[in-house]
Structure 1
Amino acid sequence: MPLDLRRIPLLLLILGLCAALPRHSAAQDGWPGDWQTYWSAGEAFVLLEQRGEAVYGTYQPGDGRITGTTQDGVLRGTWQEAGESGDFVFVLAQDGQSFAGRFGSGDWWNGHRAGIAQQQRPAWWSGATPQATLRSILAAGNDAQYHAREGQVRWIEPLLAYDGPESDSSDHDRRRRALWHILDISTFRLWDAPVPAAEADPGTELHFEIGPAGSGTTYQLIFRLDDAGLWRLVVPPGPILQADLARLIRARGHETLDALEKARAGSPRMVMMDFILGSKDWDGAGGVRALRALDLDHVPRQLRRAEGALMADYLKRSIDRIGYVVWQEIPDDPARPLPYPYYRHPLGEITIAPTDIRDDEGRPVERLWRFSRDTMEALPALYEALERMPLAPGLSAPPPLSQYFATRQAVLEWSGWLQRRALGLEVWQWIGLAGYLLAMALTLALAWRAVRTLGSGSGVLATVVAQLAGPAGLLLAALLFLDASERFGLTLRAFGPVSALSAVLLILAMAALAYRTVSLVFGALMVQAARTSAYTDEIVLSLAQGLLKLLVILGALIACADVVGLPYEGVLTGLGIGGVAVAFAARETVANIIGGAILLSDRPFRKGDMIEAAGTLAVIETVGLRSTRLRTLDDTLMIMPNAQLSDQVISNWGSRRRRKVKMQIQLTYDTPRDRLARFVERLKEIYHKQPDADTDNVTIGITSLGPQSIDIELWGHFKVFTYDAQVTAQQALILDILALAEEIGVAFAFPTHTVHLARPTPETGQDATA
């Protein structure tokens, strides 16, 4: 069968997709690594290696061994521990991160990949003294429980000595967990752990009392020296440990361990944990957790993320130089009456103190432990004093959390002399600040030049440049200033208001740009609307433009108030929305805005309509947010507030479907009857021949005999919409009427008076006047 060349691209695409897909067996053959495993009666940490299809390893506790073979992700083999053994089968999940398993006896045995433990013995691991043993157990346990490095549990087992009869690994696991809970809910200082004599014999025991903070109840730790010179922590039988654990929990006023864990969530220890653990995930949920541990109430809300990153950098780097943090040395009692001073120095303290969170009325609603405000203010000086101190053993330099430390770290790697201090700032800060100020000046200069050159012409481009170049340049300069304040740490020492000022400038620049953009956009829309006869276009655009500009101004003022720490209520009061006196002053403005909305919804007129309101005839020019502009017939500009106009009886002459025409034609009394009748008939014909006449509703006839004339009334309508068209139509009709009168030979009457003079009568001797 010949090959269809048209199918070659399709075949190549299919082959490419198949090559890109992961192979099933390759994804499943990933047994090497550290595994946290568990079954119905216990758990163990398993370390596996693989060569070909052979898999082998060990697990703790119990010093157990595993051997087996794998095929297509299924591991079958045996386990051995203290003379016991059995079969198992493990099935690796598709993602290679977990497995499902089963003992030969039928019990389940599952697991997942654990945090990678140190393969070699850690530098901090030691059993040379009871203090060293306790420190090693706490370091490994805290690493496993709080830092998600479960594999570190392996370094605890060699430091434990199990009392009582021989038991299996499940019993060891339960006892080890109970002992860990006792250690974890207690508060003590490692420095107080017992110091052995210079020459201690194997079997020597030393005791150390610990207990929950604020409870007055203690538990006695027992350390025993083994034949190899290693001080091991004695693990009593399970029932004794469980009874002691329950006793300590009740001493804290709780019945269960879970209830105790929830109760101590707001303690100094948890604050330290929230900060240190949260700072490791600063860009994720951990950042919120770490910021919550810092008292930043004095910092405006909008600046707390940037300021918090800087304070967190100072605090974390200082703590890492003070020493390795052992959680159990920090009290976990939320009801502790006094602040907890973690570190003291002549330049300041690192203190975890309770603070009251208050509602809008100033009443305390919640009590939180946080690193105090005094600590936040002292951190720059403390870090400067600690900067040359090496990191605590086992710690590595943390990545920078703020722009300041990221920039500083990069600069100092390039040249150390830039770290020298001058006039309150380091040399590199002064250099960088000068560069940013120069860039800001150039930005403003370019914006000004663009306005003067490009914006001075005509056309769309000139209009856009004239409107937006200035605010855009100001916005770019504000962004540079804000970036400089964060990157160079200008919020420290004497530069406290700098960050707020930079944020305010940024808000004002954005508001100016938005205000100009609204004017520009609506100006273009108004030009387009003027070309149409649609009713709502220009009025809606006018009202919308005013409303948007008002919202831009209000938003900018509220944002500025938020940045500088002013309450919203004060800003709203200052704007006339709150406060009795100012509210009365602003009620007319609000009424006019509402009046404009009423005019928009009722639609009583359109732009260019002639209306009669308040006894005045005028043409609508513009409907604004506060008032309406009208042009009277004598070309006088009249501005009427929307609230007044919306309350008026408005007669819209521009909305008439037809224009009424009413004429009274007066003929003289000497007009013969036949001519009068013919004039009326011909008048009807002339009216019906008018192109704009409405012939369906017209009345023409003799209505009365007036004092000086015979009155003929013409009452009808013209199908025109404007006043100019009405005048034109009436003019044509009147000219036709004058021509008709001349044709028939009738005369129009006009007001006249006839005076008759008589001769004197013999009887009176006076003239008689009629």
Structure 2
Amino acid sequence: MTENWSNVLAYPVLGAPLWTYVALLATFAATDLVYRIFMRLLKSRWLLTLTQNQPELYESIIGLLKKPLRLLQVTIAVAIGRYFFELPEAIASLASNLLLALVTATVAFVLVKLVDVLIAVLKPRIAESESRLDDQLLPVLSVALKAFILVIVGALILQNSGYNISSLLAGLGLGGLAIALALQPTLANIFAAITLFVDRPFHVGDGVSVAGIGGTIEGIGLRSTRIRTYEGTVVTIPNSTVVNDQIDNLQARPTRRTNFSIGVTYNTSSEKLKMAVAILRDVMEQHPGTDTSRAHFKTYGESALILDAAHWCQFLDYAEYLTCLEEINFEIKQRFESEGIAMAYPTQTVYLVNNEATRT
């Protein structure tokens, strides 16, 4: 019986004994079993815990890993199964190089997908952080990691194919120096972008004043920063200019300060003048948008008694800030009118000299 099975397994099929095909199928079955066990482990509660019980993120990670891991399983099975067949030396050498390149490319594909998995895991956590620059840095990190993986894999494939990459790297070094000199402004902007990501002088959505341009940060790229001006236009400023210029982050201030003066007529009595100052202080202090305020009788103007006031508004949003000032101004005018306090406007007193009287 054993001899019969030996004869069956030794039966030639397409120039190779039958047992080699059986061994190849067994290899595929074994690697498929390992793949299924690994995927089952991935689908365990450990991965669900890692994704902080977010089903959508969990399914996304499973979807990203499923195809590259299946490709890796097939590639490993083919690489192992090749040794079961006796091939001519030239074909065996060629097959070995092709399989090695395929394995390397498959590993690279898996690593690139793992980068996508890493980004998918980090994205919800970064979304919870206060910094909005992290949202801009995440795509840059993804591209940089993938580019690094592909460059290393490309060098390994060339080296395994028999090419001398030392001379290639030396040539690339000289070429890279020439390219670096030609791309100096672009490289300066890229390094400036890294500085902005690390230093974080502002976030996307902040109101800033940079290089004489005031507006809201709309986007931060590798080459430039986009600012939506208060007039509605978009200004693009190179990152190197942003880093080297003075940055006034209006969003970082805790309040908005407003200084204003009110003039009352010179015929206003001292009691009314003191009441006007008290009204200013009371109106500003009672408003819910006030952080702090002050008001004083400052000086004697050319045509009015000048009351000086300063108000710090809690509302950083421009529309809310204007509404706050509007309500305060309306209340001040209403209180002044009810108390009979007249606001002054520029006047001049002209004295006419009688020419007849002068002649006599």
Scaled by the length of structure 2, the TM-score of the pair is: 0.65
Alpha-carbon distance change, 682 to 432 in structure 1, aligned in 2, over 3 angstroms:
same
Match of 2:333 in 1: 738
Matched, 1:415 2:9: yes
Deviation at 1:653, TM superposition (A): 0.9
Deviation at 1:613, TM superposition (A): 1.6
Unaligned 5+ residue runs, structure 1? Answer: 1-410, 443-457, 754-770
Tell me how large the CA RMSD over aligned residues is.
4.7
CA contact (8 A) 2:8 2:18 kept: no
Amino acid at match of 2:260: M
Match of 1:714 in 2: 309
CA contact (8 A) 2:65 2:114 kept: yes
**In structure 2, how many angstroms separate the alpha carbons of the residues matched to 1:519 and 1:719?**
42
Match of 2:98 in 1: 501
Identical residues among aligned pairs (%):
22
**1:647 corresponds to which of 244, 255, 262:** 244
Deviation at 1:610, TM superposition (A): 1.9
Deviation at 1:529, TM superposition (A): 2.7
Alpha-carbon distance change, 540 to 492 in structure 1, aligned in 2, over 3 angstroms:
same
Instruction: Name the SS for the 1:558 alignment partner.
Output: helix
**1:598 corresponds to which of 159, 173, 195:** 195
Unaligned 5+ residue runs, structure 2? Answer: 33-54, 349-360
Matched, 1:567 2:173: no
Match of 2:40 in 1: none
Alpha-carbon distance change, 670 to 591 in structure 1, aligned in 2, over 3 angstroms:
same
Matched, 1:551 2:148: yes
Amino acid at match of 2:216: V
CA contact (8 A) 2:10 2:18 kept: no
Higher helix share: 2
Instruction: Name the SS for the 2:201 alignment partner.
Output: coil
CA contact (8 A) 2:218 2:228 kept: yes
Deviation at 1:476, TM superposition (A): 3.5
Matched, 1:672 2:258: no
Deviation at 1:656, TM superposition (A): 1.5
Alpha-carbon distance change, 582 to 646 in structure 1, aligned in 2, over 3 angstroms:
same
Deviation at 1:677, TM superposition (A): 4.6
After TM superposition, the structure 1 = structure 2 runs for residues 242-281 of structure 1, keeping only pairs within 5 Å, are none
After TM superposition, the structure 1 = structure 2 runs for residues 268-347 of structure 1, keeping only pairs within 5 Å, are none
Deviation at 1:567, TM superposition (A): 0.8
Matched, 1:514 2:111: yes
CA deviations 1:243-268 (Å, max 9, x no partner) are xxxxxxxxxxxxxxxxxxxxxxxxxx
**In structure 2, how many angstroms separate the alpha carbons of the residues matched to 1:705 and 1:506?**
87
**In structure 2, how many angstroms separate the alpha carbons of the residues matched to 1:512 and 1:750?**
77
Deviation at 1:570, TM superposition (A): 2.5
Alpha-carbon distance change, 687 to 484 in structure 1, aligned in 2, over 3 angstroms:
same
CA contact (8 A) 2:261 2:308 kept: yes
CA contact (8 A) 1:557 1:571 kept: no
Alpha-carbon distance change, 699 to 482 in structure 1, aligned in 2, over 3 angstroms:
farther
**In structure 2, how many angstroms separate the alpha carbons of the residues matched to 1:579 and 1:612?**
37
Alpha-carbon distance change, 738 to 491 in structure 1, aligned in 2, over 3 angstroms:
farther
**In structure 2, how many angstroms separate the alpha carbons of the residues matched to 1:594 and 1:721?**
32
**In structure 1, how many angstroms separate the alpha carbons of the residues matched to 2:136 and 2:183?**
23
Structure exhibiting the larger radius of gyration computed from Cα positions: 1
**In structure 2, how many angstroms separate the alpha carbons of the residues matched to 1:656 and 1:725?**
16
Instruction: Name the SS for the 1:459 alignment partner.
Output: helix
Instruction: Name the SS for the 2:112 alignment partner.
Output: helix
Alpha-carbon distance change, 744 to 693 in structure 1, aligned in 2, over 3 angstroms:
same
**In structure 2, how many angstroms separate the alpha carbons of the residues matched to 1:412 and 1:571?**
54
Alpha-carbon distance change, 566 to 531 in structure 1, aligned in 2, over 3 angstroms:
same
Instruction: Name the SS for the 1:608 alignment partner.
Output: coil
**In structure 1, how many angstroms separate the alpha carbons of the residues matched to 2:235 and 2:22?**
58
Higher strand share: 1
Alpha-carbon distance change, 701 to 530 in structure 1, aligned in 2, over 3 angstroms:
farther
Match of 2:206 in 1: 609
Instruction: Name the SS for the 2:203 alignment partner.
Output: coil
Instruction: Name the SS for the 1:606 alignment partner.
Output: coil
Alpha-carbon distance change, 463 to 590 in structure 1, aligned in 2, over 3 angstroms:
same
Instruction: Name the SS for the 1:733 alignment partner.
Output: helix
CA contact (8 A) 1:605 1:652 kept: yes
Which fold has the larger relative contact order, with Cα–Cα distance below 8 Å and residues 6 or more apart in sequence?
Answer: 2
Instruction: Name the SS for the 1:549 alignment partner.
Output: helix
